[in-house]
């Protein structure tokens, strides 16, 4: 069993030194986001997540959810924790003040979300999905629908869901079959079955707001004929209270590898005459609206990899500091704790450095979204948005793949005890395994990075990133400090590899599309490694500056520099290897058809 203590110091360091919290707090609307406010909120969130959510994590894993005659039953303690979560105002932290939110920047929101997901990933998925639905309503709901639903969802009184997948339509949403029939009163009747619906039903709130992708009768085929509907579990009375039960039901829940306490529902819409639904925005633009939410959702899922990784790291570190086994290889001291052993230290440092690198990329991206939202210069806002969108597949793909690797190391550090479920280390690994799949697989992130984010502006945004990474590498080289120069050299070599393969891809996407697609995930791996190095490079530069100024805890800054160098030594050389793989594309297999595997 493990405790969770939010890494507030590292979060604040990233917010202050890499994201630029002070600058974001100077943007219109974010004036409350002061350093003092950050201290207060992060400390309180750390207390709440550590004391209330974290102890439920293992209970959730062992009990899971059950489907009773009246719907899904969440594990013991879930209802109370959810109420406390909403009462604390955590649900609407970064939502607009006009609908009951607190209007704080996402730079704050992201840290709170990390804490919640670290403490209890299954729990955190409910608020995360609600947040996605809120974003969709803010984007495309009519004022009338906003007035009925938004405040209740932002306070958490009601939760939200996203209904995309159908049995025949997973990654390929063109295959959606759910349909919506217009009614005389302007509403619709929705029919269809949706699968993998997170928190599609539960017993924590008295209503649930489903957002459902479906086709209108006259809709074109494919992805351009999909509309978005709001389908509440209970129709809403004129006074805002839940009324008649709608024809939207959870008919079964899945038995999953992980996140047992997050109900994954098969939802039947319209099996008893039709589910009442309301069109959101314009007809046939549903997928577009979903993609607006998708960026936020993907940032959130990338964060989950970091969050579960952090939890696993804390538990592994705790074990390594407690468990005595073996002799110190250097001093010869008998029976030392595991953390003395170089290979255990290697694994702990690999966990720590990869988590910190991904945290920095993710928070930096959240900061860009804040700047894009509240900035004052339209050109700069556009640039920040493009930069954020460029980084999002890197955050999602990189954070989640890292999460699986790191939680596996968390098991390994425990030795045989790691394989015993009661230890709790295995749960993190099982929980993390969904993150590279939902909200778009790693392959889909890689394609998004290349075909949308890299190509849409002919590499202009990529060039901005390259220039920024180069500036960091140059600052490291110019620092006059050997340890920073060593980092700068590795970063520069990795950046060179990334640039080269980006140019290679640009020249080949048209005439060698299969080869580029084969190379997409290795390309994503390069981007993740380099962006991690870039962020850690910024961190090391900031740490050196603080040390030079004699400010703060020198041990923290010294460790940050060491962690950066460790990351550079372990992760950055791989960028060059993956570059070779990218440029090998599919030459090995391209002339062989589907009998390749015979």
Asked whether the beta carbons of 544 and 484 are under 8 A apart, the reply is yes
**Residue 341 within binding range of a second copy, rule CB under 8 A:** yes
Neighbours of 296 (CB within 10 A): 21
- Residue choice 35, 513, 548, 551 for contact with a second copy (CB under 8 A): 513
Residues 26-85 touching a second copy, rule: CB under 8 A, are none
Asked whether the beta carbons of 299 and 366 are under 8 A apart, the reply is yes
Helix (H) or strand (E) segment spanning residue 430: helix 425-432
**Residue 184 within binding range of a second copy, rule CB under 8 A:** no
**Residue 400 within binding range of a second copy, rule CB under 8 A:** no
Residues 542-571 touching a second copy, rule: CB under 8 A, are 555-556, 558-559, 562-563, 565-566, 568-570
Which range, of 45-53, 276-284, 316-324, 376-384, touches a second copy by CB under 8 A? 316-324
**Beta carbon of residue 102, minimum distance to a second copy (angstroms, whole number):** 33
Distance between CA atoms of 594 and 598, rounded to whole angstroms? 8
Q: Select 80 or 514, whichever has its Cβ closest to a second copy.
A: 514
**Beta carbon of residue 221, minimum distance to a second copy (angstroms, whole number):** 10
**Residues labelled catalytic:** 439
**Beta carbon of residue 199, minimum distance to a second copy (angstroms, whole number):** 16
**Residue 596 within binding range of a second copy, rule CB under 8 A:** yes
Q: Select 271 or 569, whichever has its Cβ closest to a second copy.
A: 569
Cβ neighbourhood burial of 510 (10 Å; 0-12, 13-18, 19+): exposed
Q: Select 19 or 582, whichever has its Cβ closest to a second copy.
A: 582
**Residue 161 within binding range of a second copy, rule CB under 8 A:** no
**Residue 500 within binding range of a second copy, rule CB under 8 A:** no
Burial letters 80-107, b for 16+ CB under 10 A, else e: ebbeebbeebbbbbbbeeebbbbbbbbb
Q: Select 428 or 499, whichever has its Cβ closest to a second copy.
A: 428
**Residue 461 within binding range of a second copy, rule CB under 8 A:** no
Closest CA to 400 of 375, 366, 353, 434: 434
**Residue 509 within binding range of a second copy, rule CB under 8 A:** no
**Residue 517 within binding range of a second copy, rule CB under 8 A:** yes
What's the token pair of residue 94?
A: 């970064």
β 159-163/208-214 pair status: parallel
**Beta carbon of residue 361, minimum distance to a second copy (angstroms, whole number):** 20
Distance between CA atoms of 356 and 359, rounded to whole angstroms? 5
Rg value, the chain, Cα: 24
Q: Select 109 or 398, whichever has its Cβ closest to a second copy.
A: 398
Asked whether the beta carbons of 471 and 334 are under 8 A apart, the reply is no
**Residue 464 within binding range of a second copy, rule CB under 8 A:** no
- Residue choice 139, 412, 479, 508 for contact with a second copy (CB under 8 A): 412
Q: Select 320 or 366, whichever has its Cβ closest to a second copy.
A: 320
Helix (H) or strand (E) segment spanning residue 232: strand 227-232
What's the token pair of residue 339?
A: 């953390």
- Residue choice 122, 193, 284, 442 for contact with a second copy (CB under 8 A): 442
């Amino acid at each position: 069993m493990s405790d969770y203590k939010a890494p507030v110091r590292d979060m604040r360091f990233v917010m202050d030194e890499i994201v630029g919290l002070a600058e974001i707090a100077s943007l219109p609307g974010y004036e409350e986001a002061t350093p003092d406010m950050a201290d207060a909120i992060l400390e309180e969130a750390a207390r709440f997540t550590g004391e209330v959510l974290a102890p439920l994590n293992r209970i959730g894993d062992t009990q899971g959810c059950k489907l009773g005659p009246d719907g899904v039953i969440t594990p013991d303690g879930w209802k109370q924790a959810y109420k406390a979560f909403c009462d604390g105002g955590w649900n609407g932290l970064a939502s607009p003040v006009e609908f009951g939110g607190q209007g704080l920047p996402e730079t704050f929101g992201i840290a709170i979300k990390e804490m919640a997901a670290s403490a209890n990933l299954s729990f955190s998925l409910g608020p995360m999905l609600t947040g996605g639905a809120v974003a969709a309503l803010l984007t495309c709901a009519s004022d009338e629908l906003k007035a009925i639903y938004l405040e209740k969802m932002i306070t958490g009184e009601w939760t939200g869901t996203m209904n995309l997948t159908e049995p025949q339509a997973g990654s390929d949403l063109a295959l959606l079959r759910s349909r919506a029939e217009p009614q005389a009163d302007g509403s619709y009747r929705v029919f269809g079955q949706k699968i993998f619906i997170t928190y599609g039903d539960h017993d924590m709130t008295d209503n649930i707001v489903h957002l459902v992708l479906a086709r209108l009768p006259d809709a074109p085929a494919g992805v351009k004929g999909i509309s978005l509907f709001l389908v509440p579990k209970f129709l809403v009375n004129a006074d805002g209270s839940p009324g008649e039960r709608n024809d939207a039901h959870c008919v079964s829940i899945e038995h999953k590898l992980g996140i047992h306490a997050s109900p994954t529902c098969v939802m039947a819409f319209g099996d008893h005459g039709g589910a009442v639904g309301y069109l959101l925005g314009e007809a046939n633009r549903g997928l577009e609206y979903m993609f607006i939410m998708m960026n936020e959702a993907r940032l959130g899922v990338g964060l989950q990899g970091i969050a579960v990784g952090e939890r696993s790291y804390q538990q592994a570190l705790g074990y390594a500091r407690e468990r005595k086994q073996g002799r110190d290889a250097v001093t010869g001291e008998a029976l030392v704790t595991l953390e003395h052993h170089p290979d255990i230290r290697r694994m702990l440092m690999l966990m720590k450095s990869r988590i910190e690198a991904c945290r920095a990329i993710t928070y930096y991206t959240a900061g860009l979204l804040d700047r894009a939202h509240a900035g004052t210069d339209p050109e700069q806002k556009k640039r920040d948005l493009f930069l954020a969108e460029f980084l999002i597949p890197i955050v999602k793909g990189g954070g989640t793949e890292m999460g699986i690797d790191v939680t596996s190391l968390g098991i390994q550090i425990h030795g045989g005890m790691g394989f015993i479920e009661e230890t709790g280390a295995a749960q993190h690994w099982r929980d993390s395994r969904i993150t590279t799949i939902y909200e778009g697989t790693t392959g889909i992130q890689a394609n998004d990075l290349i075909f949308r984010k890299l190509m849409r502006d002919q590499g202009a945004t990529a060039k901005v990133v390259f220039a920024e990474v180069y500036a960091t590498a140059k600052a490291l080289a110019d620092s006059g400090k050997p340890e920073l120069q060593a980092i700068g050299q590795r970063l520069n070599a990795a950046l060179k590899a990334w640039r080269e393969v980006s140019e290679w891809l640009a020249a080949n996407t048209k005439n060698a599309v299969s080869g580029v697609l084969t190379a997409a995930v290795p390309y994503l791996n390069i981007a993740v490694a380099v962006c991690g190095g870039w962020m850690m490079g910024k961190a090391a530069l900031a740490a050196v500056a603080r040390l030079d100024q004699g400010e703060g805890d020198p041990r923290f800054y010294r460790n940050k520099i060491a962690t950066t160098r460790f990351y550079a030594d372990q992760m950055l050389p791989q960028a060059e290897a993956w570059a070779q793989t990218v440029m090998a594309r599919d030459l090995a297999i391209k002339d062989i058809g589907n009998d390749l595997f015979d």
